Each structure stands twice: as structure tokens, then as C-alpha cells.
Amino acid sequence: MSESATSFDKPFEKPARPVAAPLPYAGIRVVEFTHMVMGPTCGMLLGDLGAEVIKVEPVRGDDTRRLIGSGSGFFPTFNRNKKSIALDLKKPEGIEAALRLIATADVVSENFKPGTMQKLGLDYERLRERHPRLVYVSHKGFLPGPYDHRTALDEVVQMMGGLAYMTGRSGDPLRAGTSVNDIMGGMFGAIGAMAALRQRELTGVGCEVQSALFENNVFLVAQHMMQFAATGRAADPMPSRISAWGVYDVFTVKDGEQIFLSAVSDKQWAIFCKAFGLEEMLADPRLASNNDRVRAREWMMPILRSHLAGFSAAELSAVFEKNELPFAPITKPQELFDDPHLNATGGLAPVRMNDGSESKIPLAPFTLGGERPGIRLQPPLLGEHTRALLREVGYDDAEIAALEKADIVKAYQGD
């Protein structure tokens, strides 16, 4: 990352939109040993909710600071509302600094390969002997069992967990278009941490929370498993599935534009037919109910596609919106920066990118007291908080300077 002077050289001190009440996890300290997406998502959500989240990075920095291609947005996306301390955990002095931080923490979060934290002496079994109130969140590929030795990635578990099969065409498994298991696995890690903190209020002791990619993926495809349990018929991949709804499709319309249109209830079907002059279809007894229309899709859909082909996507949107029917433009991710709803409701906030430039980023998709939890701290510069945090846990300036000289810690030079 460039260390040239920018308006983002120091983190923002105020949220993008002020929250009237104290955030629910204010006063909770989280020390995270995480990288990539899953673990950082957990810390980001806890940070969004007010926790002080300390990101422990190697002295070279989290690898996502340097990724290109589809990973180039990982760091600013999943590391807001955090502080950064850079430690060399391969050296005893770095471990000692980490242990001092952990002694001040309510939550430790990690997503290293199985056995890594144990080798470092930072596993739950050892830490709970010193800190029985500690909540310890492990993000792994698999929960304990026959697979737990395997190295997992989002795409790996999508393939083995049925999601890629359901997303792609028959014979052509396709991963979902975002890191669904990493992000949701981090969400469940955060939910587990919240539950464990509540349990600690009741019992006085902490516990270990485990969240895993594979089990998360299975949770996602449970509806398809249960479809088989209920019907005895295997679910077809989404592109070739038998839809549950009569009209629930992407339509190609005027000038080759595409739009998703649906009419999922009998009431919506009637409104749809009347809006587009399809009274004959509305009166057709073969199309009387949604299930009838599902059975008739083979001959019904070509008629609808031909009838709507002359409309523009904007014209169809206007009619569907006026009649309160479900519809959606086919939107590319980059077009969301200009989405009028997101911009009008404060759903996007300024964020510092890896190179120091500014962009906008979606905030957490919920409100507290009518406000979206905002950005209190920008994604940290590498080692931005190293010196302050070391001083807080008892290191004096001479000791910090010695650790820096030995490359055991790294501090941001603009500090």
C-alpha cells in the first residue's frame, strides 16, 4: 500500500451516519488472527456493531492487501472498523505481544488451518486455562469429523456440497458468483460469538465457537435436500428446474435488453394479464391456478415471451412497478454504485481502498433504530495501531523500538 499523504492517512472518527444509541457491542474487545474472507467477515460484523476489533497481521501484512483480480477488493470490503497491529508470530517476542493482547480480549477469532494455532500456543485449550471467560471463534473448512483434515475453499465446498450442481446447467457445475460460504461462514461465526457472549453473562465462563464452510454450504442447500425428502424426486439444477411458479423468468425484450419478471400468485397473474391485455389467457381454464400454469409452462411461456418482446425493459419496469408486481433489472455489480435506492438511504459509505483512493462500499444490510451501522474506522493501514496497542499492554517506547528494529513488529511510519 502506498504511504503517500491522502485524506485517508488516519481513520475516520465518526460514522458515516450517526447512530443515536450506543452500539450493542461497544466495550467488547476482539483480537482476530484472520485473513482472506471468512474470518475477517466475522470481525467486520462485530466491529460494525461496536466492538473494538484488533487485526493481528504478519509484518508483511495480510495477503489480501496485495491480491489482484477477483481478490483485489477483499481487504477494503471485510476490514473496516478494525485496528491493525503487525506481529511476527514465528518469534517468541511476537507471541508474547499477542498473549498480552489476548489477556485484554473478550473474543479471539481465527481462521488458520487446523493445528496452526496449537503450534503457536494460541489454541483455545491453552488460552482458556489463563482466561476462562474468553470466547474463542474458529473458522474452518469443516467441523470436527472425517473431513476436518482437508484444506477447504469456498469453491471446494460448493462443489462437494451440492451448490455448484444446483447453480450450473446439467453436467456443468458452476460456483455461485460471490464468496457465499466464506461470507456466511463469517456471519455464523459472529452469531456464535454473540451467543457465547450472552451465555457468558449467564454462566460467567466463555466457550469455543466453531463455524465451517462445508456445513454452511449444506445449510444453504437444505431446501433442495428436503425437496427430495418430501417428493422422492431429486432437485434439478436451477437452469433446468421445474419452477414452483408459473411466471418467474428472465425475459429478453426490445433491443436485446433483459429483465426478470414474475407473477407468483393467482392475484398477481390476474393483474399481470389485465395490465398487458392478456384477458384470453386469464380466462383460460388451463391457466386457472399457479400449479396449472407451472404444468402449462411449455406452451404458455413462448406466448408470453412473444407478447412482451416488443416492450423495452423500462416500459415493463414501469408497468410492473405501477401494479406492484415483482420485477428486477439485470444489474451488473459496478452499476450498484449509482443505485438510487442505495444512495438515497445511506446504504453506501466512503471507504479507503488499498492504494489510498476512495470508493463507496455497502454497509451491513440491517438497521438499528432506523440507522445502518456505519464506518467508524477505515480499513487500517498496515501496523497503523501497533505502537498504541503495544503501549496499552505495557510496552514502553524503548521496548517497542527494539521490537521494530528486530522486525518482530511493524508500525505504520505515519504514526
- Same CATH fold assignment for domains 29-221+346-410 and 243-334: no
What global pTM score does this model have? 0.89
Domain boundaries, the chain: 29-221+346-410, 243-334
What phi, psi does 8 have (nearest 5°)?
-105, 15
- SS3 per-residue string spanning the chain: CCCCCCCCCCCCCCCCCCCCCCCCCCCCEEEEECCCCHHHHHHHHHHHCCCEEEEEECCCCCHHHCCCHHHCCHHHHHCCCEEEEEECCCCHHHHHHHHHHHCCCCEEEECCCCCHHHHHCCCHHHHHHHCCCCEEEEEECCCCCCCCCCCCCHHHHHHHCCHHHHHCECCECCCCCCCHHHHHHHHHHHHHHHHHHHHHHHHCCCCEEEEEHHHHHHHHCHHHHHHHHHHCCCCCCHHHCCCCCCEEEEEECHHHCEEEEEECCHHHHHHHHHHCCCHHHHHCHHHCCHHHHHHCHHHHHHHHHHHHCCCCHHHHHHHHHHCCCCEEECCCHHHHHHCHHHHHCCCEEEEECCCCCEEEEECCCCCECCECCCCCCCCCCCCCCHHHHHHHCCCCHHHHHHHHHCCCEECCCCC
- The per-residue pLDDT for 240 is 78
Instruction: Please give the CATH topology (third level) of the domain spanning 29-221+346-410.
Output: Rossmann fold (3.40.50)
Per-residue pLDDT of the chain (415 residues; tens, 9 = 90+): 333 334 444 443 434 444 468 899 999 999 999 999 999 999 999 999 999 999 999 999 999 999 999 899 999 999 999 999 999 999 999 999 999 999 999 999 999 999 999 999 999 999 999 999 999 999 999 999 999 999 999 999 999 999 999 999 889 999 999 999 999 999 999 999 999 999 999 999 999 999 999 999 999 999 999 999 999 999 889 887 777 889 999 999 999 999 999 999 999 999 999 999 999 999 999 999 999 999 999 999 999 999 999 999 999 999 999 999 999 999 999 999 999 999 999 999 999 999 999 999 999 999 999 999 999 999 999 999 999 999 999 999 999 999 999 999 999 976 4
- The per-residue pLDDT for 238 is 84
Can you tell me the distance from the alpha carbon of 367 to that of 374, in angstroms, rounded to the nearest whole number? 10
The grid coordinates of residue 114 equal: 487446523
Q: Which CATH number fits domain 243-334: 1.10.1240.10, 3.30.470.20, 3.60.10.10, 3.30.1540.10?
A: 3.30.1540.10
- The per-residue pLDDT for 414 is 67
